[in-house]
Every structure is written in structure tokens, then in C-alpha cells.
Amino acid sequence: MKPIPEEKLKQLERAAAEARKKSYAPYSHFAVGAALLGENGMVYTGCNIENASYPAGICAERTAIFKAVSEGCRRFRAIAIAGGPEGADCLTLCTPCGICRQVMREFTGPDFPVWFSDGNGGFRMMTLAQLLPESFGPDSL
Ligand SMILES: [Zn+2]
């Protein structure tokens, strides 16, 4: 996989933080934004969208991925995730939940870089293989 230029990563981090401002989280009050870089060079953003019927809500990461897929992009280079208490500027550690890891697995590979806010003012990267080892994916069927 071609390395992503530092400036592009910074752009993704900023886009994730910006998308976080659109979060609809009246129940958890934990606002998350995600920015997904498509192979086509486009950046797809998403935020968490909660629901009074809790399971009907969706995470920021899946919002971004589903937006991209619905617009015809199915291959991705990286994702950045920014999360923290609603209304606060500071970001906390925000790794993707298990469902989002599985959805990433559907459209990416083991080397897919997942950048997430580390709770120390920066972002940290783990590969999808680190976040979802021994995963079940399209090639398992
Ligand atoms: Zn999730």
C-alpha cells in the first residue's frame, strides 16, 4: 500500500474533528467524527447518529463508509476517527467499535491504517489486522 503523505493525514484528522461537530448524540453525549480517504482521492466524512431506539443508531465510521459505498467508492486508503465528550474541544481515546472493525474488514485489507484520537492531543495508528486479528471477511466464504 502506498504511504499516505503527512499533509494528507493531517487533512483527514482535521476533517474527522470537523465532522464530529455534526454528531447527534443526545443519549451518550459522546461525539465522534470520521474521515475516510477513498482510493479515488475523495474524503468521505461521517458522525455518530444516535436514536431513541438505541440499536437504530450508527457510528461515525460506518456513516462515512456507507456514504462512500453508496456513492460508488469501495476501496479505501485510510480512516481517521476523532471522539470525545460532546461540546468539549479535547479528544479522548477513540478506537472503532467491533461492528465498525468488521465493516472496515469488508472493504479493506489487513494493512488498512486506522488513525484514532489518542487522548493525548494527537492521533495514533493501528492496522486493521491489529484491531481485528484472525478476522472473518469476504475471502473467508
Ligand atoms: Zn462503531
Distance 32 CA to ligand 1 centre (A): 10
The pLDDT score that the predictor gives to residue 135 is 96
Question: Which domains does the chain show, CATH number per domain?
Answer: 6-140 (3.40.140.10)
Distance CA 133, CA 68 (A): 25
3 confidence band (pLDDT: 50, 70, 90): confident
The mean pLDDT value for 46-67 works out to: 98
Q: Give the per-residue pLDDT at 116.
A: 98
Distance, CA 57 to ligand 1 centroid (Å)?
A: 10
Residue 1: pLDDT above 80? no
The C-alpha atoms of residue 135 and residue 106 are separated, in whole angstroms, by 10
Instruction: Provide the b/e sequence for 20-29 (b: ≥16 CB within 10 Å).
Output: beebebeeee
Beta strands 43-47 and 123-127, pairing class = unpaired
Question: Distance, CA 118 to ligand 1 centroid (Å)?
Answer: 16
User: What pLDDT is attached to residue 24?
Assistant: 98
The string of pLDDT tens digits covering residues 89-129 is: 899 999 999 999 999 999 999 999 999 999 999 999 999 99
List the beta strands (DSSP E) in 3-141.
Answer: 30-38, 43-47, 76-85, 113-117, 123-127
32, 83 contact by CB (below 8 A): yes
Mean pLDDT of the chain: 97
Q: Is there a catalytic annotation at residue 61?
A: yes
Catalytic residue among 7, 61, 71, 86: 61
